[in-house]
C-alpha cells in the first residue's frame, strides 16, 4: 500500500473532530455540525473547482457526521468523483463513503459500477483491492449481478497478484452467501481448487473458505479438493514452526488454515483412494500426538491455537466414523480435558464426547470416563458445563450402566438448575424405559422422578408409565402396590395422584386381597386427595371410582354417595358434573354384565415411537442431525413404544388389540401397499407405480454396507443434500429396521420416493414390508420409515434402497445397499468346551466347512476383534480353544423354514498379520456366506 504523504493528514478534519468532542451539550454539537454542513454545501456548489484533497477532506467530514447519527443528503456525487482519482488516499475515501452511505437503489449505482469496472480492469493491485473490498462491503444483489461473472476470472488468472487473489476469493464468497443463484459455476471451479496448492498461504486460506462454502451446495464440482486439502494439511502438520514463520502463531504452524482445511474435509466422506486416506490418517495421528507433547509456550494463545486444530481434527474423525483406533485415541484425548482447569475446554470435551458416544467403535472408550462425568455434575460451577455432562451421561448409557447413570441423574435432579430440570426428567424417563430389564425398577424410577421433580414431569412421562404397565402383565401387581404405598405420603404431587388413580382403577383388584389395601381403603386414600387436585385430575379420579364399582361391588354404595353429593352433581365445572351424573346413572341402571363390558380393562397399547423421545427431540429443536445421531447411538435397546393413552373413562369399549409384543416383532407385519410389479424384473416396489430408472450404487456404498455387518445402528449414507440413518433390531427370524431420511438443506425435497429393490431370488427368501413416506420433506427436517423383515430362508444378496426426489428443480437419484445380511438372524448360543468340540466334529463333512486365510486389513486388536464377533451375532466362547489367542463362537441362524447351527473359529497370526477363519454349519451356502461377511471385518 502506498505511503501516506504528510499533506494527507487533513488538518481541517482533525480540527472539526476536536470541536465536536469539546461541545458541552447536544445542542452545541448540532449547531457546530449544521455550521459545517452549510460550509461544505457552499464549497460543493461554489464556482471554484475543488481539488482532490479538498473533496477528500469534505467527504471525510460528511462521513464522520453520518457516523455520529445525522442524516446526509448530499456529497454522494463528489464521493463518486473521487473514485476516478489516481491517488490512493482519495480513491480510498471515495470507496469508504460509498460502502457506508450509498444504497443499492441509488441513482449513482451505474456510475459507481463503471468506476469499479475500470479499477478491476486497471491491473493495478492496489486499485483492484479497493474495488473488491467495496463490492464485498456492499454485497448487494445488484453488485452480484454486475460482478459475479468478472471476479472468478480475476481469481484464477495467472498474472493476478497474491493480495488480489485473496481479496477476490473473499469477495466472491461474500457474493455467493448473499446471492448464490447469481454466481455461475463454470470452468473456473476446477481451477480454483488448485489454489489449495498455491505457495502463498494467505491465498490458500481465502480459497479454502470459498471452496468449503461452495462444496456444501455443489459437492461433485469440488470433490477433487479432498486430495489437495489432505496434501496441504499434511505439509502444515509435519512442518516445524520455523518453516512457516509468517503464518506461525505462538509456535503453532498456520492454525487458522489447518482448521479451515479440516472443515473442508468434513464436507465429504472418507477418501476412497487408499493413499490419500492413509495420508489423512497420518495427519490426524500427528495432530493427536502433538496434543500429548509438552507446550512450547505458557501463553494462552498457544494452547488456544493448538486446541482449535485438535478439536477440529476430532470433529473430522467423528464425521468419518471409520477408524476405530483414531476414535478411541480421540476419546482418550478428550478424557484428559474433562478435568482441565479451563472451563471452555471442559465444555468442548463433553460436547465432543457426546458425539463420540454415538460411534460403535468409541462407545466403550467413552464409558470409561463415567466417574469423571458424574463428578462434574456434582462439582462443576458452570451450568452450561453441567448440562453437557447430563447430555454425555445420556449418550453413554447402555444396559451395563443404565441403573448407575439413572441414579446419578436422579440425585443431581434434586439440586439441578430449574432451566434444565425438564430435560433431565425426559432423559431419565427415556433411559429408564429403554434399558429396563426389570420393569419393577422402571416403575420405582418413574415414581421417584415424580416425587423429586413432579412439577417438571410432563404428561408424556406419566402417560408412558401407564402404557408400559398396561402392556406388561408381570409388572401390574407390583405397580398397583407401589403407587398405593406412595399415595400414603402426607403430600403427593398431582402427577402421582394421576398415575395412582389410573393404575388402581385398572389393577387395584390385584392388591385388594391384602387387608392393608382393601377396596375401601384404596377408595378412601384416593378420595382424600380429590379436593386438592385440579379439574382434569378430578375427572380422572371420577373415572377411577366408576371402575371401582365394577371391580369392587362392596364399595358401590359408598361411591354412589360420593357421586350423588351436591359437590359433584351441582359442580360448577361442566365436565365434572356430566361425569358424576352419567357415572351415577350407569352404576344404578346397568346390570353386572353390562357394567363389566363397559368398564373392562384397558387393552394393550399398539407399538409406536415413544412420545417422551418425541418431546425431547422437540425440546432440543428441529435438527436432522439430532435424530440421526440418536439412530447411530441406540444399540440393541428394546423400544417400548405406544401412543398417549386417553384418560381412564367409562367409554373404554374399544376391542382389545393383539397381544403386546412391545418390540412388535411377534406381531403380524402390515400388508404391503399395492401389488408387486408384474414384470419379472427387479422388485417389490411398495412406493411408486412408475419409478424412474434406478441409479447405480452411490460411491462408498459397499464400504458403508460392510461397516453395518457387525452393527445395527449408524449413518448409512450422507452427501450434501441427504443423510440416511438406520436403527435396527432383530429377534430370531424377524427384524425391524427404522430408516431416517434427513434433509440437510434449507429447501424442500419434493416427490420424495424411496423404493426397496430385491431380485427374484432374494424376494423368495427375504420378506420386506413397509409403507410409503410423505413425498415432501421440509428443509432441515427428517422422515422415518419402518421396514418389517422376515427371513424365510438363507440368502446371499442384499436389497437395494433407491431414493428419488426433486431438489431445487433438479432430479436426484441415489441408490445404496441396505445392510440386511444373513448374520442379522443369528441367536448366540453358549456352550462348554467339550460340547463345542463334540459339535465341531459332527460338522466335519467337507461341504459343511468353509475356511479362509487372509491378510489383516485393520490393526489386530484383541478387544476390537471380540466386539466384532459379538456384533456379528454369535456368542463369544471364552476359555474354549486350547490356544488362548484364538477366538471361537457359536450361534443359530433362524429362518422361517429351518434353524441352522453355526460354529466359528478365528485364528490370528500377529507376526504374519494374517487370519485363518473357519466356519462350520449344517448348510454349505450358509457357511460360505457367513465366511464372506466376517472375513471383510478384519
The average confidence (pLDDT) of the chain is 82
Contacts of 917 (CB under 8 A, 6+ apart): 851, 852, 853, 854, 904, 905, 906, 907, 931, 934, 935, 938
pLDDT at 167 over 90: yes
Q: Is 165 annotated as a binding residue?
A: no
33-68: string of b/e by CB count within 10 Å (b at 16+)?
A: beebbeebeeebeeeeeeebebbbbbbbbbbbbeee
Is the pLDDT at 132 greater than 50? The verdict is yes
> In the predicted model, is pLDDT for residue 658 greater than 50?
no
Question: What confidence score (pLDDT) does residue 489 get?
Answer: 87
pLDDT exceeds 80 at position 809: no
Q: Rounded distance, CA 243 to CA 713, Å?
A: 45
The pLDDT value recorded for residue 744 is: 84
Poorest-confidence range of 4-13, 122-131, 574-583, 861-870? 4-13
User: Residue 667 — very low, low, confident or very high, per pLDDT cuts 50/70/90?
Assistant: very low
**pLDDT grade for 76, boundaries at 50, 70 and 90:** confident
Q: What's the pLDDT band for 18 if we cut at 50, 70, 90?
A: very high
Which of 788, 540, 749, 761 lies closest to 645, judged by CA? 540
Least confident of 300-309, 400-409, 825-834: 825-834
In which band, very low, low, confident or very high, does the pLDDT at 683 lie, cut at 50, 70 and 90? very low
Task: Supply the pLDDT for residue 280.
Answer: 92
Q: For residue 635, is pLDDT > 80?
A: no
Cβ neighbors of 784 (< 8 A, separation 6 or more) are: 609, 627, 738, 739, 740, 741, 773
607 or 886, higher pLDDT = 886
> How high is the pLDDT of residue 607?
61
508 marked as part of a ligand binding site: no
Are residues 629 and 355 in contact, defined by beta-carbon separation less than 8 angstroms?
Answer: yes
Check if the beta carbon of residue 512 is closer than 8 Å to that of residue 519.
yes
**What band does 260 get if pLDDT is binned at 50, 70 and 90?**
very high
Q: Which residues pair with 855 in a beta bridge?
A: 914
Residue 637 has pLDDT above 50, yes or no: no
Q: What is the mean pLDDT of residues 297-322?
A: 89
The annotation status of 23 as a binding-site residue, yes or no, is no
Q: Any binding-site annotation on 454?
A: no
Question: Is the model more confident about 703 or about 501?
Answer: 501
- Contact of 903 with 836, CB cutoff 8 Å: yes
Grid coordinates representing 84 are 476516478
Tens digit of each residue's pLDDT (9 = 90 or more) over 471-493: 888 888 999 999 999 998 888 88
**Residue 53 annotated as binding?**
yes
Q: With 90 as the cut, is the pLDDT of residue 259 above it? A: yes
Is 12 annotated as a binding-site member?
yes
Identify the top-confidence range among 48-52, 583-587, 655-659, 860-864. Answer: 583-587
Please say if the pLDDT value at position 241 is more than 80: no
Residue 242 has pLDDT above 80, yes or no: no
- What is the pLDDT at residue 34? 92
| % of the chain exceeding 70 in pLDDT | 89
Mean per-residue pLDDT, 848-856: 86
| pLDDT, average across residues 657-672 | 34
Across 284-292, average pLDDT: 89
CA distance 327 to 357: 10
Mean pLDDT of 563-592: 87
Whole-number Å distance between alpha carbons of 599 and 48: 102
pTM of the model: 0.61
Residue 631 has pLDDT above 70, yes or no: no
Whether residue 613 has pLDDT greater than 80: no
- Note the pLDDT of residue 47: 65
463 in a labelled binding site: no
| pLDDT level of residue 617 (50, 70, 90 thresholds) | low
The pLDDT tens digits of the residues spanning 383-392 come to: 888 888 998 9
Quick one: pLDDT at residue 275?
A: 92
For 691-747, what is each residue's pLDDT tens digit? 456 777 777 778 788 888 888 888 888 888 888 888 888 888 888 888 988 888 878
Amino acid at each position: 500500500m502506498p505511503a501516506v504523504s504528510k499533506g494527507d493528514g487533513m488538518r481541517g478534519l482533525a480540527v472539526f473532530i476536536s470541536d465536536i468532542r469539546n461541545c458541552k451539550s447536544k445542542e452545541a454539537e448540532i449547531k457546530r455540525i449544521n455550521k459545517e454542513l452549510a460550509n461544505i454545501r457552499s464549497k460543493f456548489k461554489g464556482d471554484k473547482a475543488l481539488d482532490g484533497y479538498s473533496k477528500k477532506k469534505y467527504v471525510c467530514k460528511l462521513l464522520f457526521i453520518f457516523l455520529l447519527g445525522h442524516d446526509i443528503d448530499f456529497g454522494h456525487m463528489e464521493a463518486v468523483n473521487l473514485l476516478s482519482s489516481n491517488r490512493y488516499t482519495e480513491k480510498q475515501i471515495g470507496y469508504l463513503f460509498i460502502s457506508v452511505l450509498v444504497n443499492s437503489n441509488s441513482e449513482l449505482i451505474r456510475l459507481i459500477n463503471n468506476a469499479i469496472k475500470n479499477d478491476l480492469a486497471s491491473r493495478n493491485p492496489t486499485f483492484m483491492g479497493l474495488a473488491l473490498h467495496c463490492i464485498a462491503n456492499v454485497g448487494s444483489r445488484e453488485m452480484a449481478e454486475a460482478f459475479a461473472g468478472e471476479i472468478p476470472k480475476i481469481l484464477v488468472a495467472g498474472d493476478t497478484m497474491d493480495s488480489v487473489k485473496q481479496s477476490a476469493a473473499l469477495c466472491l464468497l461474500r457474493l455467493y452467501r448473499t446471492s448464490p443463484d447469481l454466481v455461475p459455476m463454470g470452468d473456473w471451479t476446477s481451477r480454483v481448487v488448485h489454489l489449495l496448492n498455491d505457495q502463498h498461504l494467505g491465498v490458500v486460506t481465502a480459497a479454502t473458505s470459498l471452496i468449503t462454502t461452495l462444496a456444501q451446495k455443489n459437492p461433485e464440482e469440488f470433490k477433487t479438493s479432498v486430495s489437495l486439502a489432505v496434501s496441504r494439511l499434511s505439509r502444515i502438520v509435519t512442518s516445524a514452526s520455523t518453516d512457516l514463520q509468517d503464518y506461525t502463531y505462538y509456535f503453532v504452524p498456520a492454525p487458522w488454515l489447518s482448521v479451515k482445511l479440516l472443515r473442508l474435509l468434513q464436507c465429504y466422506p472418507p477418501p476412497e483412494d487408499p493413499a490419500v486416506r492413509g495420508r489423512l490418517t497420518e495427519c490426524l495421528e500427528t495432530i493427536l500426538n502433538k496434543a500429548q507433547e509438552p507446550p512450547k509456550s505458557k501463553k494462552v494463545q498457544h494452547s488456544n491455537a493448538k486446541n482449535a486444530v485438535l478439536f477440529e481434527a476430532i470433529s473430522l474423525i467423528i464425521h468419518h466414523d471409520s477408524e476405530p483406533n483414531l476414535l478411541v485415541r480421540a476419546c482418550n484425548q478428550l478424557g484428559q480435558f474433562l478435568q482441565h482447569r479451563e472451563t471452555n475446554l471442559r465444555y468442548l470435551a463433553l460436547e465432543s464426547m457426546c458425539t463420540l458416544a454415538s460411534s460403535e467403535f468409541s462407545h466403550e472408550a467413552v464409558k470409561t470416563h463415567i466417574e469423571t462425568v458424574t463428578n462434574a455434575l456434582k462439582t462443576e460451577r458452570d451450568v452450561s458445563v453441567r448440562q453437557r455432562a447430563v447430555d454425555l451421561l445420556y449418550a453413554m448409557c447402555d444396559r451395563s450402566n443404565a441403573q448407575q447413570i439413572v441414579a446419578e441423574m436422579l440425585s443431581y435432579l434434586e439440586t439441578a438448575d430449574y432451566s434444565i430440570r425438564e430435560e433431565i426428567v425426559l432423559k431419565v424417563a427415556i433411559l429408564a424405559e429403554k434399558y429396563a430389564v426389570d420393569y419393577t425398577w422402571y416403575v420405582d424410577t418413574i415414581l421417584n422422578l415424580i416425587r423429586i421433580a413432579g412439577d417438571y414431569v410432563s404428561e408424556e412421562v406419566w402417560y408412558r408409565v401407564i402404557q408400559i404397565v398396561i402392556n406388561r402383565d408381570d409388572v401390574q401387581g407390583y405397580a398397583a402396590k407401589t403407587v398405593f404405598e406412595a399415595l400414603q405420603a402426607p403430600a403427593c404431587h398431582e402427577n402421582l395422584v394421576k398415575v395412582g388413580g389410573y393404575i388402581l382403577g385398572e389393577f387395584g383388584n390385584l392388591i385388594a386381597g391384602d387387608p392393608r389395601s382393601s377396596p375401601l381403603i384404596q377408595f378412601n386414600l384416593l378420595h382424600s386427595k380429590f379436593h386438592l387436585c385440579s379439574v382434569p385430575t378430578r375427572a380422572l379420579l371420577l373415572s377411577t371410582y366408576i371402575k371401582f364399582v365394577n371391580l369392587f361391588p362392596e364399595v358401590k354404595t359408598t361411591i354412589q354417595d360420593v357421586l350423588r353429593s351436591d359437590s359433584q352433581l351441582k359442580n360448577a365445572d361442566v365436565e365434572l358434573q356430566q361425569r358424576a351424573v352419567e357415572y351415577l346413572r350407569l352404576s344404578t341402571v346397568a346390570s353386572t354384565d353390562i357394567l363389566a363390558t363397559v368398564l373392562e380393562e384397558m387393552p394393550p397399547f399398539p407399538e409406536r415411537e415413544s412420545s417422551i423421545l418425541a418431546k425431547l427431540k422437540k425440546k432440543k429443536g428441529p435438527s436432522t442431525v439430532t435424530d440421526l445421531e440418536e439412530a447411530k447411538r441406540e444399540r440393541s435397546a428394546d423400544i417400548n413404544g405406544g401412543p398417549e393413552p386417553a384418560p381412564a373413562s367409562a367409554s373404554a369399549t374399544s376391542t382389545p388389540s393383539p397381544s403386546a409384543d412391545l418390540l412388535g416383532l411377534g406381531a403380524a407385519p402390515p400388508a404391503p401397499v399395492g401389488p408387486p410389479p408384474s414384470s419379472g424384473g427387479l422388485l417389490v416396489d411398495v412406493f411408486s407405480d412408475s419409478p424412474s430408472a434406478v441409479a447405480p450404487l452411490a460411491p462408498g456404498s459397499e464400504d458403508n454396507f460392510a461397516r453395518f455387518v457387525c452393527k445395527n445402528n449408524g449413518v448409512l449414507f450422507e452427501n450434501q443434500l441427504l443423510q440416511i440413518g438406520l436403527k435396527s433390531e432383530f429377534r430370531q427370524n424377524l427384524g425391524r429396521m427404522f430408516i431416517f431420511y434427513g434433509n440437510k438443506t434449507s429447501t424442500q425435497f419434493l416427490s420424495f420416493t424411496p423404493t426397496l429393490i430385491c431380485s427374484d431370488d432374494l424376494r423368495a427368501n427375504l420378506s420386506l414390508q413397509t409403507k410409503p413416506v410423505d413425498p415432501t420433506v421440509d428443509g432441515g427436517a427428517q422422515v422415518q420409515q419402518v421396514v418389517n423383515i422376515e427371513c424365510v430362508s438363507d440368502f446371499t444378496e442384499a436389497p437395494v434402497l433407491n431414493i428419488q426426489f426433486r431438489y431445487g428443480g433438479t432430479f436426484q437419484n441415489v441408490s445404496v445397499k441396505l445392510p440386511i445380511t444373513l448374520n442379522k438372524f443369528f441367536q448366540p448360543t453358549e456352550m462348554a468346551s467339550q460340547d463345542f468340540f463334540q459339535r465341531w466334529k459332527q460338522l466335519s463333512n467337507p461341504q459343511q466347512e468353509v475356511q479362509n486365510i487372509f491378510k489383516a486389513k485393520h490393526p489386530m486388536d484383541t478387544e476390537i476383534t471380540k466386539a466384532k464377533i459379538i456384533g456379528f451375532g454369535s456368542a463369544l466362547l471364552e476359555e474354549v480353544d486350547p490356544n488362548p489367542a484364538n477366538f471361537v463362537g457359536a450361534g443359530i441362524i433362524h429362518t422361517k423354514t429351518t434353524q441352522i447351527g453355526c460354529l466359528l473359529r478365528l485364528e490370528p497370526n500377529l507376526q504374519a498379520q494374517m487370519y485363518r477363519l473357519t466356519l462350520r454349519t449344517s448348510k454349505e451356502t450358509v457357511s460360505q456366506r457367513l465366511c464372506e461377511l466376517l472375513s471383510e471385518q478384519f
